[in-house]
C-alpha cells in the first residue's frame, strides 16, 4: 500500500538538508516526514524518516519506508510484511 504523498521538497536547518514528504495518517491527518537516512537492503532502497512537529524534526522515533524512485521524484511505501520490516530494521540498526 503506497502512502499518500502530497509534495516532496528539500528543507535545511542549521546543519543538515532534508528531503520532506507528506503522508496521511490512520486518522486522516496529514503528517510531514523528514528523510534522515537512505539505505539499501537486498538491492531495495529504504528510508528512515522522522516526524516533523512544528519547526522541529523529532528524531526520537524513526519510521522505515520502502522507496520507489520515479523519473524525477520518489514515493514511499509502507512495509507490510513483518519479516521484511524486521530484517530491514535490524540491518539499519547495524549500520549505526
Q: What is the pLDDT of residues 15-72, one digit of tens each?
A: 568 888 998 888 999 999 999 999 999 999 999 999 998 888 988 889 999 998 888 8
Q: Report the distance separating Cα 96 and Cα 81, nearest Å.
A: 23
14-49 burial, b at 16+ Cβ within 10 Å, e below that, comes to eeeebbbbbbeeeeeeebbbbbbeeeebeeeebbbb
Report pLDDT for 70.
80
In this predicted model, which residue has the larger pLDDT, 54 or 83? 83
C-alpha cell at 69: 524512485
Check: CB of residue 65 under 8 Å from CB of residue 47: yes
Which DSSP letter does residue 1 get? Answer: -
Report pLDDT for 15.
56
Give me the mean pLDDT over the 8-13 stretch.
51
Report pLDDT for 13.
53
Report pLDDT for 26.
86
Q: How confident is the model at residue 90 (pLDDT cuts 50, 70, 90)?
A: very high
Give me the mean pLDDT over the 80-84 stretch.
95
Amino acid at each position: 500500500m503506497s502512502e499518500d504523498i502530497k509534495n516532496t521538497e528539500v528543507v535545511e536547518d542549521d546543519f543538515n538538508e532534508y528531503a520532506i514528504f507528506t503522508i496521511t495518517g490512520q486518522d486522516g491527518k496529514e503528517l510531514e516526514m523528514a528523510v534522515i537516512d537512505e539505505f539499501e537492503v537486498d538491492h531495495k532502497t529504504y528510508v528512515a524518516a522522522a516526524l516533523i512537529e512544528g519547526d522541529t524534526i523529532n528524531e526520537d522515533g524513526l519510521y522505515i519506508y520502502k522507496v520507489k524512485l520515479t523519473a524525477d521524484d520518489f514515493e514511499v511505501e509502507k512495509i507490510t510484511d513483518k519479516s521484511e520490516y524486521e530484517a530491514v530494521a535490524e540491518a539499519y540498526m547495524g549500520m549505526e
